[in-house]
Structure formats: C-alpha cells, structure tokens
Amino acid sequence: MNYDDEKRPPLIGRRELLAKAGVGAFGLLSGGLGAILPAAAKQRQAKGPVLSLDIACERDTWPIFPGAETFVERVEMSVREGDASKLRAIPGSFAGPTIWVNKGDTVRARMVNNLYQPTILHWHGLVTDEHNDGLPNDAVARGESYDYDFTVGNRAGTYWYHPHPDHYTGPQSYYGMSGIFVVCDRHEQSLSLPRGEYDLPLMIADKLVDANNQLQYGSNPFVGTIGDQVFINGRPDFTISAATRVYRLRLVNGSNARLYKLVWSNDLPLTVIGTDGGLLERPVQKPYVMLGPGQRIELWADFSDLPLGESFKLRSLAFEGTAVGFEGSGIQNGTPIDVFSVRIDRQEPETLTLPTTLAQIQRYDKASAVNASHPRNFPITFDGGFYFNHLTYEPGVVSKHEVVENNTLECWEFSNRTGNIGIVHPIHIHGQSFQIYDRQILPEYRDAWEGVREGYVDEGWLDTFMLMPGESAQLLLRFGPFKGLSLYHCHNLDHEDMGMM
C-alpha cells in the first residue's frame, strides 16, 4: 500500500501550542560569539581507517505482519569506501543497519533526504564538532544532502543514530529511522567479553499497531507516544535463540517516550557492565535496571547454566509512571510490557568468566568544578508545554545562561518541577559524557521514586539520565574539545518536538 502524506496523524507543533521567548541550544565559547566555529567542514586528511557511507533516508512500506505492508521511514546505508564488514544490515528488518567501528576510525557520509519533511541524522553520544553532530538547524529538505566527516574519539561503547530535525524527530524515529553505532577499542578487546554472535546490539522501541498493520504515532503529545508491544531491531515478538553461553547484550532504548524497568523473568541475575559511555569500572548487580529513551545499558547475560529448552523473557515491570494530569490519555509510562524472549536451543561449552574489573573511570571532583558553589540550574517547568528555565527551543538561539567555556568542568543541576503535572523526563546533553554527582527527591514524590531509584546505573559515563517527578540531579560535565553550538533536550521525542530542547 502507499502511504499518503496527508493521512499522517496531525503533528502538534509547539509553535501552535505556545508563544514564548525562545532559547534552547547552548554554546561553547572561549572569547565571545565570534569564536563559534564556522559550520562548513572541509574533507580532512584521516589518520586512521576511513569508513565512507552513502546514506539515504527513505519512505517505504515493509512486510512486518501478515496482510497489509506497514508504512515506515528508514535509513538505508551502503559502504562506498572502507571495510564493508563495519556495516551490518539487520536481515529482514526496516531498522537501520548497525555500524561497528574502532576508536580512531574516520567516518565520512553523504546523507540524502528522500522524505517529505526535512531531516538530519544525529550520532547520539558521539563527540563531534558542531557540523558533524547532526543538529536541527542543519536539517536538509527533500532531495538535498548533507556531508559528514568526523573521527571517532569516544570510549568503546554502544552509541546510536537517529533523526534530529526540529518538529519531526518523534515521527521519523517512530517510523524507523534509527540504528546502533558500536565503538570498539583495544582495551576492550583485551577483556574476556563475549564477541561475534554472542555480542548483540538490541534496539528497543515500543509501537502501537492498528488493525491495518500501521504504526500509530502521536497518541498523546504530553505523555508521548507509548505503544503496547516492543519491536527489537525493527522486529515484533522478538526471540533470541541462544546457546548455553554468556552474551553481551547492548540495549538501546530507542522508544519515543517509554521507560523500562528491566528484569529477567526467570530471576537470572541482572549484571550490568556498561552504560551510555561504555564499560563500568566493575560489573554491578541490580534488582532491576531503569532505561529511559536515549539511554543504553550493557548486560552480561550468563545463560551457561540454563537447561536446553528453557524459555524466558526480559520484561519491564510496572512502576508509578502515570503522568499526573493526563491519566485518561492513552497508555501510560510504567505499564508492564514484555521486551523480548530468549529460548535456549543449543548446548555449547562456555569458558568466559565475568571480569572483576572492566575499565577505569576517573571520578570528577565537584570541588574542582568552576561553579562548584553555584551549580547552573535547569528547572523543568510546565506552562502549557514543558520547558527548561521557562524557555522553549529556537534554532541557533542561546541564552546567556547557556554559554559555557571550553575545557572547563561545571556542575549542572536539573530539577523536575512541573507543579501538579507529574511526568518523568529523560534528559540528554550532546557533546560529552558526564557523571551524576547526586540525586535528591522532594518528600511528596518519594514513594514513586523508591520504585525506580535502585535501577539507576549512575556509576558509569552517561549522556542521558532520567528524572522522576520531584527529582533533581547534579551532574559534573567537562566541556570540549570542540567549540560551537551544542544541545540539551528532553529525549522524550514528543517533548523534544514540542520545544523541550
């Protein structure tokens, strides 16, 4: 079937919802506005291997369920130059391919937009200069292209890519335009971690599917689009057919709005080895793990003692996530849902044992933050929409409060203060990984918080963190090395599209 653009569910544009003085992006300056980098990047001499990609953003239909094909938007990639094994398509799926690179590799790409709306791809978690980040102001119209050229300097870890145009990030992500970007390095290769077919990147995204097999977007502009079934890497009812081995599961929450409270249904220990920015110092056991949109978690999943034929699930438990004030409107966060199934279908010997140390993480010292005694405050407020500091996104506009100096360590405090509208927000900051220094909760929100807080993995490097209603968090961030515009926003993509950016 052909998707008719006019039939797309109406998008709620924040400019229709509000009229506010606008700010949202933040700038990294040293020496005033004139120091912002020029946007255009010339092709540089690469030191390491180059992976050159051709990327096409396409509207398409896909056979997902029996019967009518499903309208999707997807990212098609092919290797123009470099090691073709670094790009791995997901067989039979509309989801974007997985990119596997080594730290030090240079990625070049030409992205062509064949969608009807503007788009731009963002490399979530990667540290790049402004031109290569994929910011909303760089979105290109149908038929136009955008060139990327950057060297991967991140720690080994699980990153991802998704569209990032102003207003259309939610629907384009929902219809399928995201994928996983794995970075490997030497240190990680020296560890006894599962590799190859035992190292699985898994993109989690919940969907609502109508009777005609179409993905339903925009169920609730305030709560965000929340589905009643999970797709893994673009496939519904996903089952890992596993051996009696240890697996490294790289979970990416690519959902628009849903947060997960993850446990194994068979009480297998939940062993976390990594977060957004790569490996933890040492593995941690959790009773459950919270995973908000944009966040990643890596699990050491030891199936080696399980009997042949055992079937079980990774599932998300209920938690108090209902948006106070929007109770009647569609499926809420905190409703339980099954994420994927595992079936042990073959016996294989396993020799790996869980490493006791994984990596080194140097904890930032709050006392050496330039604003240690006066953290920069980012209160989240509600006034017909969600805002930081009562301000909404305007392309390229930076408030004084959002100008930071390059190469400094700062303390930022985000606090979820939306009065009697209680809703959880996953907050993402572009440009560097950071550390959580501290979290606090207002007394009247403590009960709901107690149901999630043991699932925070604040030991690791993060680029996204969740904030429950009434919660505040202090982060320590070191800005740099690139100067120029950057971004922070809510990674509830429907909030982001409404201007919470």
156 binds, options ligand C2O, Cu ion, none, Cβ within 5 to 8 A by partner type:
none
248 makes contact with ligand C2O (CB under 6 A): no
Find the shortest distance in angstroms from Cβ 459 to ligand C2O.
22
Site for Cu ion in 73-92 (CB under 5 A): none
CA distance 99 to 201: 10
Find the shortest distance in angstroms from Cβ 203 to Cu ion.
15
Query: Based on CB atoms, which residue is closest to Cu ion, 247 or 388?
Result: 388
Query: Based on CB atoms, which residue is closest to ligand C2O, 161 or 300?
Result: 161
CA distance 371 to 278: 27
296 makes contact with ligand C2O (CB under 6 A): no
Find the shortest distance in angstroms from Cβ 26 to ligand C2O.
12
235 makes contact with ligand C2O (CB under 6 A): no
- Confirm if 145 and 173 have CB atoms less than 8 A apart: no
Q: What does 201-245 look like in DSSP terms, one character per residue?
A: EEEEEEE-B-TTS-B---S-TTT----SEEEETTEES-EEEEESS
Contacts of 131 (CB under 8 A, 6+ apart): 37, 39, 40, 41, 138
Q: Which span (5-13, 124-132, 143-151, 227-235) binds Cu ion, by CB under 5 A?
A: 124-132
Find the shortest distance in angstroms from Cβ 72 to Cu ion.
22
CA distance 276 to 181: 12
Query: Based on CB atoms, which residue is closest to Cu ion, 135 or 246?
Result: 135
If one counts every other C-beta atom within 10 angstroms of the C-beta of residue 201, the result is 23
How far out from the chain centre does Cα 110 lie? 22
What is the Cα gyration radius of the chain? 21
Site for ligand C2O in 154-173 (CB under 6 A): 162, 164
Query: Based on CB atoms, which residue is closest to ligand C2O, 75 or 369?
Result: 75
Q: What is the enclosing helix (H) or strand (E) of 113?
A: strand 106-113
Find the shortest distance in angstroms from Cβ 496 to ligand C2O.
7
CA distance 206 to 191: 33
CA distance 69 to 66: 8
Among 108, 207, 235, 430, interactor with ligand C2O by CB under 6 A: 430
Amino acid at 309: G
Assigned token pair, 488: 């922070």
- Confirm if 185 and 228 have CB atoms less than 8 A apart: no
Residue 130 main-chain phi, psi, to 5 deg: -55, -45
Closest residue by beta carbon to Cu ion: 490
Task: Pick the closest to residue 153 from 46, 75, 272 (CA basis).
Answer: 46
122 makes contact with ligand C2O (CB under 6 A): yes
268 binds, options ligand C2O, Cu ion, none, Cβ within 5 to 8 A by partner type:
none
Q: How many residues does the chain have?
A: 501
- Confirm if 136 and 120 have CB atoms less than 8 A apart: yes
Among 234, 274, 294, 422, interactor with ligand C2O by CB under 6 A: 294
Among 71, 492, 493, 501, interactor with Cu ion by CB under 5 A: 492
490 binds, options ligand C2O, Cu ion, none, Cβ within 5 to 8 A by partner type:
Cu ion
Among 162, 315, 425, 489, interactor with Cu ion by CB under 5 A: 425
Find the shortest distance in angstroms from Cβ 295 to ligand C2O.
10
495 binds, options ligand C2O, Cu ion, none, Cβ within 5 to 8 A by partner type:
Cu ion
Among 487, 490, 498, 500, interactor with ligand C2O by CB under 6 A: 487
Among 124, 245, 250, 376, interactor with ligand C2O by CB under 6 A: 124
Find the shortest distance in angstroms from Cβ 417 to ligand C2O.
22
Q: Which span (65-73, 307-315, 407-415, 483-491) binds ligand C2O, by CB under 6 A?
A: 483-491
Per the listing, tokens 């009812």 go with: 237
425 binds, options ligand C2O, Cu ion, none, Cβ within 5 to 8 A by partner type:
Cu ion
180 makes contact with ligand C2O (CB under 6 A): no
Cα dist from 357 to 40, 145, 249, 303, whole Å:
42, 44, 18, 21
Tell me the residue ranges of DSSP E strands in 30-167.
Answer: 50-62, 70-81, 87-88, 98-102, 106-113, 121-124, 145-151, 157-163
Contacts of 400 (CB under 8 A, 6+ apart): none
CA distance 269 to 299: 10
- Confirm if 138 and 111 have CB atoms less than 8 A apart: no
Q: Which span (98-106, 230-238, 353-361, 484-492) binds ligand C2O, by CB under 6 A?
A: 484-492
489 makes contact with ligand C2O (CB under 6 A): yes
487 binds, options Cu ion, ligand C2O, none, Cβ within 5 to 8 A by partner type:
ligand C2O
Among 20, 495, 499, 501, interactor with Cu ion by CB under 5 A: 495
CA distance 118 to 209: 25
Give the footprint of Cu ion on this chain (CB under 5 A). 124, 425, 430, 490, 492, 495
Which positions touch ligand C2O (CB under 6 A)? Answer: 122, 124, 162, 164, 294, 428, 430, 487, 489, 491
